[in-house]
Amino acid sequence: MKSTRIVLASRPVGMPEQENFRTETVELEPPRPGEALLQTLYLSLDPYMRGRMSDAPSYAPPVEVGDTMCGGAVSRVIESTDPALQPGDIVLGWAGWQSHSVENVQALQKLDPAAAPLTTALGVLGMPGLTAYTGLLTIGRPKPGETVVVAAATGPVGATVGQIAKIQGARAVGIAGGPEKVALLRDRFGFDAAIDHRAPDFAEQLAADTPDGIDVYFENVGGAVFDAVLPRLNTYARVPLCGLVANYNDTDLPPGPDRLPLLTSNILRKSLTVRGFIVSEFWDQIGEFRPTAAQWIAEGKLTYLEDIVDGLENAVEAFQGLLTGKNVGKLIIKVAD
């Protein structure tokens, strides 16, 4: 079996470019005992992948130059040496940016195609959904009547955060880029208020839409958005921090004065809780999260959007768009039917 794969050809400086990747066709070894040969159907593209392209110290090892780019995937079993999986079964795994792979059966999760659309295993019922659920409820702990603000609010994490906040009885304020996304926050996801961070009066709009301040700020962007949020944080506000996509392509510290004293003085004076987290530390909540989220979807309390791009050959361009906010909803590459 041959596989088409996209490998990391060189480590990007700033925005990843086409020349940082290389497409190869390789011949796979037959599956050994305990392994399965898979055909990738859907590949997830996520912001964390930018960090894995760098060899800077991080919470996970980098992708080595010459290795297949990492990524979660929904795949079809072609051949299996383990009776736990049969040809035709659909599984969730970490095939990465490639058309076929051989993986350890123990690392795969069998999916029921009749239970939910397969792509939801990569989005609202998968890692992004769990990130929203655990970050908001375990760290943010919103109470009825409190104000929850979330950045990148039309993304798979942000949109889920806002809707769960509403389910908990809180007031949800979403921040996104552009009128189309702002309209989606109100009309599709039911946010109480939505603000365009590209608007020249963004900070003024944020103040107007958070008259009682901000009790929970779900941070996955950073940059100028956080600058506007910081003075609005209430005493004892909680800040779950799961990403800083505004800075992922930075090659140097931002210019200007040192603003660390401003941040630390706010943390001290307001008794703020700022808690960075990686979703893997809360993976033990997956058994609680999935049926709960599925029930919310069935009841119409939780909805989602997916941005599906056809063709593995378009993965690099789609990933570049992800880093600049071009996608709307969970970004997925359709690799095969």
pLDDT band at 21 (very low <50, low <70, confident <90, very high): very high
pLDDT band at 251 (very low <50, low <70, confident <90, very high): low
CATH second-level architecture of 128-280?
A: 3-Layer(aba) Sandwich (3.40)
**CATH code for the part of the protein at 2-123+305-334:** 3.90.180.10
Q: Are 187 and 328 in contact (CB under 8 A)?
A: no
- For 126, the token pair is 């998968």
Cα separation, 160 vs 148, in Å, equals 12
To which H or E segment does residue 78 belong? strand 73-80
Instruction: Give the residue-averaged pLDDT of 98-120.
Output: 96
Instruction: Determine the pLDDT at residue 133.
Output: 98
pTM: 0.90
Alpha helices (H) in 86-147, listed in sequence order: 127-134
- For 86, the token pair is 């049969």
Whether pLDDT at 264 is above 80: yes
Phi, psi of 84 (to 5 degrees): -65, -20
* β-pairing verdict for 273-276 and 233-241: parallel
Query: Could you report how far apart the first and last alpha carbons of the chain are, in Å?
Result: 18
Instruction: Give the residue-averaged pLDDT of 133-142.
Output: 98
Q: Are 332 and 119 in contact (CB under 8 A)?
A: yes
- For 260, the token pair is 């660390």
For the chain, the C-alpha Rg in angstroms (whole number) is 21
Q: Are 132 and 152 in contact (CB under 8 A)?
A: no
Model confidence over 162-185: pLDDT tens digits?
Answer: 999 999 999 999 999 999 999 999
Return mean pLDDT, the chain. 94
- For 89, the token pair is 């079964």
Whether pLDDT at 318 is above 70: yes
Instruction: Determine the pLDDT at residue 259.
Output: 79
Whether pLDDT at 249 is above 90: no
Lowest mean pLDDT among 99-103, 104-108, 148-152, 255-259: 255-259
Within 8 A by CB and 6+ apart from 192, the residues are 166, 171, 172, 173
Question: In whole angstroms, how far apart are CA 330 and each of 96, 147, 153, 154?
Answer: 17, 25, 11, 9
Model confidence over 54-64: pLDDT tens digits?
Answer: 998 888 899 99
- For 321, the token pair is 């768009």
- For 1, the token pair is 């079996």
Instruction: Give the residue-averaged pLDDT of 96-109.
Output: 97
Instruction: Determine the pLDDT at residue 258.
Output: 81
pLDDT band at 24 (very low <50, low <70, confident <90, very high): very high
Give the distance from CA 130 to its chain's centroid: 10
Question: In whole angstroms, how far apart are CA 160 and each of 53, 63, 153, 188, 279?
Answer: 27, 29, 8, 12, 14
Question: Domain locations in the chain?
Answer: 2-123+305-334, 128-280
Q: Are 318 and 333 in contact (CB under 8 A)?
A: yes
Q: Are 111 and 92 in contact (CB under 8 A)?
A: yes
Q: Which residue has the tokens 């290795």?
A: 67
pLDDT band at 153 (very low <50, low <70, confident <90, very high): very high
Within 8 A by CB and 6+ apart from 5, the residues are 23, 24, 25, 26, 68, 96, 97, 98, 99
Cα separation, 82 vs 36, in Å, equals 7
Q: Are 45 and 315 in contact (CB under 8 A)?
A: yes
Cα separation, 14 vs 191, in Å, equals 33
Whether pLDDT at 32 is above 80: yes
- HSE of 302, CA atoms in CB hemisphere, 13 A: 28
Tell me the angle at which helices 127-134 and 156-167 cross, rounded to the nearest 10 degrees.
40
